[in-house]
Structure 1
């Protein structure tokens, strides 16, 4: 089944351990707080360099989340699919890395 969020990709699911989910959720909650803080800074006309510094910290936090997900994906999903004989996962993984490297 497809939905608008998947852009034609099948509805596969990850199975992250609860500890990893809590870690990711906690990190994303902090990022969400950082974004709200940045919005407040802009509304208060805070000096541009200070806002940019906070944006950089937020990007770094998001990159940390991506690294955790990427490691889990490689060690879990990719290995599982390779073990099932699905070599197409390698092409998918290369595209994923390329997307991350654009940023």
Structure 2
């Protein structure tokens, strides 16, 4: 993984744990029949958090690819990896 702090596994897991908590909260809101607008606010918040993780993963791949090329990896191979991640990132957004 990348050398940047927000790209570290522990930080990503913390973000995912928060999202799991948000999902649990949304489930509870639905069960308690909270107003739809309040539920949608929480859904949007969760979606935004997921998009942020996706962005971090894209940045980490770019960073990792650059480091690998500077250490002698094939530019073509690293570009293919990065293009694959970009394609998946675009599907989410």
Common fold, TM-score beyond 0.5? yes
Q: What is the deviation of 1:24?
A: 0.9
**Which residue pairs with 1:71 in the alignment?**
59
Number of matched residues?
A: 87
Q: Which structure is higher in helix share?
A: 2
5+ residue gaps, structure 2: none
| Kept after mapping to 2: 8 A contact 1:81/1:89 | yes
Shift in CA distance, 99/52, structure 1 to aligned 2, threshold 3 Å: same
Q: What is the deviation of 1:96?
A: 2.2
Q: How far apart in 2 are the matches of 1:24 and 1:67?
A: 11
Q: TM-score, normalised by structure 2?
A: 0.76
Q: TM-score, normalised by structure 1?
A: 0.70
State the 4+ residue runs in structure 1 displaced beyond 3 angstroms.
none
